[in-house]
Structure 1
Amino acid sequence: MAARSVGMPRRLVRLCAVIGWIGCGLLLVCWAQLMQWLMPAQVDLQRQKLTRWWLRNLIRILPLRVSVHGTAPGQTALWVSNHVSWLDIVVLGAQAPVHFLSKAEVRNWPVIGWLASAAGTCFIQRGQGTSSTVQDQLNGVLAAGRSLVMFAEGTTTAGDRVRTFRGRLLSAAIEARVPTQPVAVAYRYAGQRDAVAPFIDDDEFSQHLWRLLGSRDIDVEIHFLPLLDSSALNRNQLARSAHASVCQVLGLDDGKSASEPAEVKAAA
């Protein structure tokens, strides 16, 4: 690990830059809330532009080199992605104006929860994924012409496999009559699966961030795979098709790893 680590001065500079950039983000949140009161009809578009700008610059601070394969859909779609880390939100949110689906606990996280809420994240209570309230919320986002990102595994993994995609919430794409966009995300270092980026087991955000800031550049691959016609498939067929596409591009055999399965962490 030492060979891939940067020196302490560089790590501290990165940490100061991240803290400063989070402070900038909080100022933008305050501005967005003010705009919500003054010009509610225009605030969502402006908020999405600011969110992408903020995330793109955050990527420049973090030790990440992002390469994109394929093109993000120019139309409203339900993005269905594998989930490795909280970094998935950063790198995917920088690609297009999207909203994220997250567990309700994130709303109460210091700073991060405020930023996520201001960016238009849809929060759901674990165990209530089939409730009409959640379904109506998702349908409303898609029907309003806003793309939504869903981490369909429901957990993070070490990137060595893709767990089964849950089909329950994919029915939102069918009801809103929008296509499903499978997305594959991979983190690599020196051509191998990276061990620093995954946010798994009992990891804690600040500790994970500190390790990340001490790493040399990690290569992030984002693959936008062919769109799936949601009107031609039921929710379980959509889940299986998206899962198969993601597994194939990541070089995994139906999501099974050749190594021992890693423990997983509840999805952010």
Structure 2
Amino acid sequence: MPRWFLRALATIAGVRIRTRGIHPAARSFFIANHVSWLDIPALAGATGTAFVAHDGLAAIGPLRWLCELNDTVFVARHDRRSVAAQIERVRRALSETGALTVFPEGTTSDGTGLLPFKSSLLSALDTGADHIPIQPVWLDYGKVTRDIAWVGTEPGLDNALRILARWRPVNLTITFLPPLTESERANRKAMAHTARHAIASAMAEAR
């Protein structure tokens, strides 16, 4: 039900999704760039993935309900004291959900480049997750990327209303890049570096 609901939400928002690249396994860990709140219903609708999200969303009633419906793992990105507990929650989610996505930039960008990738939560993949593919994903809104991006001080509601008011569709291409090799997932920093490089290379080739 969450996957159907989120797919319908993306459709209502005018998103037309095209997928390309290497088809992901049913149980995967996705490392994706982050441009808009549209990323979540679109990627969830396409793959059924759950997400690792900032705990600030948990304070917003409707968003919390929607996130919990989709088995979201809430983390406090700025609380270094709870990193170990957060990693354990991610590990537990990996064993309970079909797929899980993290946005390692930690926030949305304007979509024309990539912010640094934070690697702390990738420690959940250091042990006991060798059987789960780790796959970089590039979310590309094409020519309307800057218009869609949720950045700066724009309130979330204003951004949502602005996007919903568009009369033209939002074309989103979800590119599933090759899963990381054994050597590329040697540790969390290697995973973050390799995933960021893969997404950045795909962005550069498309220009």
Same fold per TM (> 0.5)? yes
Residue 212 (str. 1) matches residue 166 (str. 2): no
Q: 2 CA distance for matches of 1:242 and 1:249?
A: 11
Is contact 1:196-1:211 (8 Å) kept?
A: no
Q: For each residue in 1:190-234, what CA deviation from the matched residue of structure 2 results, as whole angstroms up to 9, or x when unmatched? A: xx2433211111111221111112221121111000001356521
Q: For each residue in 1:226-257, what CA deviation from the matched residue of structure 2 results, as whole angstroms up to 9, or x when unmatched? A: 0013565211111111001101111279xxxx
Q: 2 CA distance for matches of 1:131 and 1:62?
A: 35
Q: For each residue in 1:101-151, what CA deviation from the matched residue of structure 2 results, as whole angstroms up to 9, or x when unmatched? A: 011110111312211122110001122356221111111111335321000
- Corresponding residue of 1:199: 150
Q: How many angstroms does 1:72 deviate by?
A: 4.1
C-alpha RMSD of matched pairs (Å) = 2.1
Q: How has the CA–CA distance of structure 1 residues 75 and 229 changed in structure 2, closer, same or farther, with 3 Å as cutoff?
A: farther
Residue 245 (str. 1) matches residue 168 (str. 2): no
Is contact 2:34-2:108 (8 Å) kept?
A: yes
The aligned amino acid for 2:150 is F
Q: How many angstroms does 1:97 deviate by?
A: 2.4
Q: 1 CA distance for matches of 2:191 and 2:117?
A: 9
Is contact 1:180-1:230 (8 Å) kept?
A: no
* Residue-pair matches, total: 202
Q: How has the CA–CA distance of structure 1 residues 143 and 229 changed in structure 2, closer, same or farther, with 3 Å as cutoff?
A: farther
- Corresponding residue of 1:164: 116
- Quick one: percent identity of the two aligned structures? 28
Is contact 1:142-1:173 (8 Å) kept?
A: no
TM-score by length of 1: 0.70
Give 1:120's match in structure 2, choosing from 44, 67, 71: 71
Secondary structure at 1:95's aligned position in 2? Answer: helix
Q: How many angstroms does 1:180 deviate by?
A: 1.1
Which portions of structure 1, spanning 4 or more consecutive aligned residues, are displaced by more than 4 angstroms? none
Q: For each residue in 1:82-107, what CA deviation from the matched residue of structure 2 results, as whole angstroms up to 9, or x when unmatched? A: 01011110111111222100111101
Give 1:77's match in structure 2, choosing from 15, 23, 28: 28
TM-score by length of 2: 0.89
- Corresponding residue of 2:52: 101
Q: 2 CA distance for matches of 1:228 and 1:234?
A: 11
Q: 1 CA distance for matches of 2:109 and 2:96?
A: 32
Secondary structure at 2:93's aligned position in 1? Answer: helix
- Corresponding residue of 1:187: 141
Instruction: Show the 5 A alignment for 1:32-71.
Output: 50-71=1-22
- Corresponding residue of 2:104: 152
Secondary structure at 2:46's aligned position in 1? Answer: coil
Q: For each residue in 1:25-46, what CA deviation from the matched residue of structure 2 results, as whole angstroms up to 9, or x when unmatched? A: xxxxxxxxxxxxxxxxxxxxxx
Secondary structure at 1:101's aligned position in 2? Answer: strand
Q: 2 CA distance for matches of 1:158 and 1:123?
A: 24
Residue 173 (str. 1) matches residue 146 (str. 2): no
Q: 1 CA distance for matches of 2:10 and 2:195?
A: 27
Q: How has the CA–CA distance of structure 1 residues 183 and 245 changed in structure 2, closer, same or farther, with 3 Å as cutoff?
A: same
Secondary structure at 2:100's aligned position in 1? Answer: strand
Q: 1 CA distance for matches of 2:15 and 2:111?
A: 16
Is contact 2:108-2:149 (8 Å) kept?
A: yes
Q: 1 CA distance for matches of 2:93 and 2:19?
A: 25
Secondary structure at 1:69's aligned position in 2? Answer: strand
Q: 2 CA distance for matches of 1:63 and 1:147?
A: 25
